[in-house]
Structure 1
C-alpha cells in the first residue's frame, strides 16, 4: 500500500452500499413526478426540438434573396438545407452515448449553446461558404434534441403513457420543417432580409436555452441515483455509498460499435430495418423536397408572389396534425393489445396506422403534382388540399415505423434507430439537391408520377410485416419475440 502499510482487510459486499429507487412508487423516480412538473419539462424539451427542426427548413425560404446577394444558382443555396440535415446523421453519434453517460441535461445545454452560436454565425456571415459551414455545424452539433428529447420523454413516462408523449414530440419534429418556410418567406422578402430568418431561430433557441438551464430537471434514472448517492455520502460521511452507474465506462471502441458499426450491420442484414429505413428515408426526403416543390408550383405555375407561394404548405401542416391525432387514437388500441398480452410488446400491432399512410401517400403526391401542373384550368386550392393527404401520410408512416423498430429490437433499438437515422438523413440531404432539376426537366406531373409510383411500391411494406413480421423476427439474431 506504500509507506510500509499492509493491505487492508476486504471490504463488505458493495451491493449493500448501492443505492436504488425506493420501490415503484418512489417520488424521486421520474415516472412518479407530478404531471405539472412533467408538462413543464416536456414543454421546454418540445420547444427545443421545434427550434432545431424549424432551423432545418427556414433557410430555404430565403433562396431568392441569397441567390441575388451571392450571385449563385439555387442548387448552391440548397446546400444550406442539405448540409444542415446531413449534420443530423453525424451529431447523434456523439450525443446519444454522452446522454447515457452524463444524463440528458448536460448534452442539451452544450448542444444548445453551440446551436445558437452557429445559427448567429450564419446570420452574420460575410460570404456564402461561411454561411454553409455554420449551417452544417448548427445541424450537427445542435442535433442533440432529436435523440435526447425522445429519451427524456421515455425516462418520464411508462409503457402506458410513453406512446402518447412520443407522438407529440414527433408531431413537433415533423411539423417544424413544414411550418418554418411559411413565416420565413415573409421575413426574407421584407426589409429584414434572409439573415433574420436565422436571427429569429437563434433568438428562439437562446430563449429556450435559458428555460432549459432553469426549468429542465435531470430525467435519466442512473444520474438521479448518482445524485442520491452523493447526498447520502455527504449526510452520513460513508464514502462507500455508491450508484451502479458510477462504475460505468464507455470506450471509444464501444461507442463506435454501438453507433456506427452495429447500425450498418443491422441496416444491411435485417430486412425489417432495411425496408422500414428505406421507407422512412423516402418520406423524410420528400418532406424536404417539398421545400422546392411548393414554391416551384405556386410561384412558377400559379404566379404567386413571395411568401404567398409558401402559404399552401398550411395544408401539409394540417395533414400532419391530423395524422398525429390518428396515431394517438391508434395508441389507445395498442394499449389494449399490450394489456391483453401481459404487458409484452406486440410490434406488429404498431403497423395499422402505417397501412393507412401507405395508401394515402401516393394519392396525395399524384394529386398535388398532376393538379399543380395545370394552373390554367385547375384552381390553386386543389393542389393545396392534397397536402392534407400527404401530410397525414408522412406522420402515419414515420411514427409507427419508428415504434415498430423499437418494439422489435428492444436492447438493440438504439443501434437500429441509428441505422434508420443514417439512411434517413442521407435522403433528406440529397432530395433537395436534385428536386429542382427534376421538376423543371421532367415536369411537375411526371415528377409526381415517379414519386407516386415509388411510394406505391413501398406501400405493401407494413402489410408484409404485419403478416410475416413475427416469423422474420424469430429468425433474426437481433430482433426479439417475447411471446
Structure 2
C-alpha cells in the first residue's frame, strides 16, 4: 500500500497506536472500575462499543490490495462485460496446496527468524523494547501506587509522561524521514536499508537514560518528588518509538518480497516477550528492588545500542549472504 517514500510515516501511525494504547488504557480502566455506577465489566463493554463499528466498516469499505487478486477480479469483470471467457489472469491458474500454505504462512516466518542474522538480532532488540513496554505496566504501579501511595487511577496518570515521550519519538521519526527520502533520491530510488538506522541510535541512547532515571529516582520515593520519575517517561517513551519504528522499517526494506514473513517472525518473538515480561516483572522489582532491577535492564539496553551500529557497518555484507534479503545497491 505504501512506497519507500511514504512507508516510514505509515509505520509511525501504526506504532503510535500499538505503543500509546497500553499507556493510556490503565488509568482509564482504573477510573472505570472505581466508578460505582460502572464497575469492571465496563472495561470490556467500552472496548466492544468502540470495536463494533469496525465489524461493519471492514466488509463494507475495505478493498483488496494484493495485486494478483486485483488482477483476478479485473479479469472476472472483463469476462462478465464482454462475454469472452478466454480472458484470465495468471493467478486464476494458481491453486494453493496445504503444504504451500504451511510453508508460506507458518514455517517460513519461523525459519527466517532463526536463520537470518539480521532478522534475529533486530527482532531480539525489537522484542526487548516491546517487552519493556509491558513491563512498565507492572513497574509504574510499584513505584507510584506502593511507593508514593497514590490512589488507583491516580497512580496510573504518570503514564502520560511515557505517552508524551512516544509522541515526541513519533514526530522525530517523521522528521527523520526527510533525510531518508533525500538519500533515496540521491541513490536514484534504490533502497539502502541501513539508511533507516541512524534515528534508531538516538532512540537507543535515550531509552536507557530514561529507564535508569525512572528506576533510581522512583526507588527513593521518600525524598524525591513524584514528578521526577514521571518526567523520565519523556526519554523512555521517545526511546521506545525511536527504536521500534526504524527497526520495523529496516526489516521491510531488507526483505521486501518476503517482508510479510519477516514481520510475522518478528511479531512472533515480540509478542512472546510482551507476554513474558509482566510475568517476572513483579518478582524482579520486589526481589532486586527498583534501582538494581533498573540497572540490570538499563545496562542490557545499553549493550543493545551496538545492534544498529553493527548493522550500519555490516548490514550490506549480511544481506549479500542472505537467502531472503535483497541487495539493491
Among candidates 175, 191, 195, match of residue 20 of structure 2: 175
The match for 2:223 is 377
The match for 1:54 is none
CA distance in 1, matches of 2:241, 2:274: 15
The match for 2:196 is 350
CA distance in 1, matches of 2:33, 2:94: 49
1:317 pairs with 2:140? no
The match for 1:478 is 324
Could you tell me how far 1:343 is from its partner in structure 2? 1.1
Among candidates 47, 68, 72, match of residue 222 of structure 1: 68
1:443 pairs with 2:283? no
1:187 pairs with 2:29? no
Could you tell me how far 1:270 is from its partner in structure 2? 2.0
Could you tell me how far 1:219 is from its partner in structure 2? 3.0
Could you tell me how far 1:308 is from its partner in structure 2? 0.5
SS at match of 2:322: coil
1:267 pairs with 2:113? yes
The match for 1:256 is 102
1:166 pairs with 2:2? no
Check 1:414–1:368 CA distance in 2 against 1; reply closer, same or farther (3 A cut): same
CA distance in 2, matches of 1:409, 1:474: 12
CA distance in 1, matches of 2:227, 2:264: 39
CA contact (8 A) 2:184 2:192 kept: yes
CA distance in 2, matches of 1:462, 1:379: 35
Could you tell me how far 1:386 is from its partner in structure 2? 0.5
RMSD over aligned CA atoms reads: 1.5
User: TM-score if structure 2 supplies the norm length?
Assistant: 0.95
Could you tell me how far 1:251 is from its partner in structure 2? 2.1
Check 1:312–1:360 CA distance in 2 against 1; reply closer, same or farther (3 A cut): same
Any unmatched runs of 5+ in structure 1?
Answer: 1-154
CA distance in 1, matches of 2:175, 2:267: 26
Deviations 1:266-319 (A, max 9, x none): 222222111111101100101011111111111000111011011000111111
The match for 1:240 is 86
CA distance in 2, matches of 1:400, 1:203: 33
CA distance in 2, matches of 1:350, 1:302: 40
Could you tell me how far 1:262 is from its partner in structure 2? 2.5
Q: Which has the larger radius of gyration?
A: 1
CA contact (8 A) 2:11 2:249 kept: no
CA contact (8 A) 1:317 1:391 kept: yes
CA distance in 2, matches of 1:409, 1:218: 22
Among candidates 423, 434, 444, match of residue 280 of structure 2: 434
- If asked which structure has higher relative contact order (CA below 8 Å, sep 6+), I would say 2
CA distance in 1, matches of 2:176, 2:236: 19
Check 1:411–1:214 CA distance in 2 against 1; reply closer, same or farther (3 A cut): closer
Could you tell me how far 1:459 is from its partner in structure 2? 1.1
Q: How many residues align?
A: 328
Check 1:390–1:227 CA distance in 2 against 1; reply closer, same or farther (3 A cut): same
The match for 2:259 is 413
SS at match of 1:443: helix
Check 1:223–1:478 CA distance in 2 against 1; reply closer, same or farther (3 A cut): closer
Any unmatched runs of 5+ in structure 2?
Answer: none
Could you tell me how far 1:440 is from its partner in structure 2? 1.3
Q: How does 1:23-422 map to 2 (within 5 A)?
A: 155=1, 157-191=2-36, 192-422=38-268
Could you tell me how far 1:165 is from its partner in structure 2? 2.0
CA contact (8 A) 1:358 1:460 kept: no
Deviations 1:405-461 (A, max 9, x none): 111122222222222111111111110111111111111111111110110111111
User: TM-score if structure 1 supplies the norm length?
Assistant: 0.66
